[in-house]
Amino acid sequence: MRIAKTGFRDLRIVLAALFALLSWSVAIAGDGWPRTFVNVDGSRTEIPAKPQRILSTSVSTTGTLLAIGAPVVASGSAANGKFFAQWASVAKERGVENAWPAGKVDLEAVYATRPDLIVVTASGAGSARDMLDAFRQVAPTVLIDDGGVSWQALATQLGTATGREAEAAAAIADFDAYAAAARAKLRIPAGKANIISFNGAGQSNPIARTGGPHAALLTALGFTLEDPDPAWHTQASPREDFVWADYERLVDLTAETTFLLRVDDSKAAAFLNDPVLANLPSVKKRQVYGLGVDSFRIDYFSGKEIIDGIMKKFGT
C-alpha cells in the first residue's frame, strides 16, 4: 500500500510538471514566441525568442531597425566604412558597433557580436546573401529585400521578425503625421515633378518611377510625379523604383520641376548648366533642386530630412 501511494504521488508530481511546462509553452506562444519568419526567397526562419542582440549585415537596413527601436548591437557600414549620415548619431548613442564595410564580411566579428538574430538583405552592395549558411551556424538569420520597397514596408517586416510590431506602427504613424503637417504648409509648383540621380554623359541616370519610395514621399507631400518610360531601362531586370536610363533619354522628360538625388541645391548647377538639357521645362523655369545629400536611400531619418528641405523651399 505504501508503494502504491508513493507511485501515485510521483505520478502527480510528473503531471504537475507537465502541466506547468504546457502552461509555460502556451504563455510563450501567446506572446508570439517562438515564431516563424518567411524570408524573401520563400524559406522559413524559426526565431525562438524576442531578439535582444541583432546584427544587421547591411547598412541600408540598419536605419529602419533603429527607427523601430530594435536592439541593434552591430551593423555593416557603407563601402567607405561609415554609417549613413542621417542616422549615424543615433547609432553612436545606442552603441552600435561598425562590423565591416560593404562587401567585406568578417565572420570573426559575427561570432564576437554574439547575435541572437542576423538580418541579411538580398540585394545591393551590402548584401551578404552568399554567407547565409555561415550566418545560420551562429544565430537565426532572416533574409529580406530592402531594394525598391518603402521604409514603411520594410519596418513592418522587421517589426514581425523582431517582435516590435507596435513600435513599427508607431514610427510609421509618426512619419505620416510629419509629412501631413508639412503638406498643409507647402505651396507646390504647378505641373509635374521628376526625380533623377544625375550622373551625366556616358552613364546611366536613374529616374524615379511613380511606384517607388521616393515618388511616394513626394506624392504624399502633394507633388504629381512624372513616370519615366520603362522601355528606357538599361538593366537586365526591371525595377519598380527606378528606370536606369541613358543620359540621352533625359531630354525626353517633360516635368516642370526636377529634384536631384544625393545632392543639395549647391550641386544642382551641373544639371542646370548642361547644354544638352537646356530645353528641359525644369531647366527653362530654373526649377531644379537638390533633394538632399542623404536622399538616395529613404528611411525614417532621411525621409524627414527630405521633408525639411522641401519645407525650406516651398513652405508658406
pLDDT of residue 125: 81
Residues of the chain with CATH 3.40.50.1980: 35-177, 185-314
What pLDDT was estimated at residue 27? Answer: 31
CATH number of 35-177: 3.40.50.1980
185-314 is classed in which CATH architecture?
Answer: 3-Layer(aba) Sandwich (3.40)
- Report which of 159, 121, 112 is spatially closest to residue 139, judged by C-alpha positions: 112
Q: What is the pLDDT of residue 149?
A: 85
DSSP symbols for the chain:
-HHHHHHHHHHHHHHHHHHHHHHHHHHHHHTT-SEEEEPTTS-EEEE-S--SSEEES-HHHHHHHHHTT--EEEEEE-TTS---HHHHHHHHHTT-EEEEETT---HHHHHHH--SEEEEESSSTT--GGGHHHHHTTS-EEEE--TTS-HHHHHHHHHHHHT-HHHHHHHHHHHHHHHHHHHTTB-PPSS-EEEE----TTSEEEEE-TTSHHHHHHHHTT--BPPPPGGG--SSS--SSEEEEEGGGGGG---SEEEETT--GGGTHHHHT-GGGTTSHHHHTT-EEE--TT-SS--HHHHHHHHHHHHHHHB-
CA atoms of 105 and 275, how far apart (whole Å)? 44
Taking only the tens of pLDDT, the chain with its 316 residues reads 333 433 433 434 333 334 333 333 333 344 689 999 999 999 999 999 999 999 999 999 999 999 999 999 999 999 999 999 999 999 999 999 999 999 899 999 999 999 999 999 998 888 889 999 999 999 999 999 988 789 999 999 999 999 999 999 999 999 999 999 999 999 999 999 999 999 999 999 999 999 999 999 999 999 999 999 999 999 988 888 999 999 999 999 999 999 999 999 999 999 999 999 999 999 999 999 999 999 999 999 999 999 999 999 999 9
Q: In this predicted structure, what is the pLDDT of residue 7? A: 42
Q: Considering the entire predicted model, what is its pTM?
A: 0.87
pLDDT score at 174: 98
